Amino acid sequence: MDLPSGYKPDTEIDNEAMDPVWVQLAAILVARIDAAIYPPGRAIPSLNQLRQEFGVSKGTIVKATNHLAEQGRVRAVHGRGVFVLPRD
């Protein structure tokens, strides 16, 4: 699944939007990666930090980050975090 465009790094989750919350979160994270807010080799914020910032469930965050991992944008390292991968 391709993520929708138009999301910016500072976009907030909209529970009334047509896009599912996990898709919105994934698109926001990609916007932050593309803007080098989360540069390659660095971890994105922790699950708890993302839960606090966006007010979403753990499952929503896991689904969003798993989707980004499937796209080759991030890699989860057990016990360490989710790290941004370099773009080819």
> For 16-41, what is each residue's pLDDT tens digit?
999 999 999 999 999 999 999 999 99
Tell me if 75 is assigned to some domain: yes
CA–CA separation, 26 and 62 (whole Å): 10
Task: Indicate the pLDDT class of residue 87, thresholds 50, 70 and 90.
Answer: confident
Exposure b/e, 29-66, CB count within 10 A at least 16 = b = bbbbbeeeebeeeeebbeeeebeeebebeeebbebbbe
Task: Indicate the pLDDT class of residue 49, thresholds 50, 70 and 90.
Answer: very high
- Tally of domains within the chain: 1
Tell me if 16 is assigned to some domain: no
Average pLDDT value for residue range 41-63: 97
Tell me if 35 is assigned to some domain: yes
pLDDT of residue 1: 82
Give me 70's structure tokens. Answer: 């499937």
Range of the domain at 73: 21-84
This prediction's pTM: 0.95
Give me 24's structure tokens. Answer: 């919105």
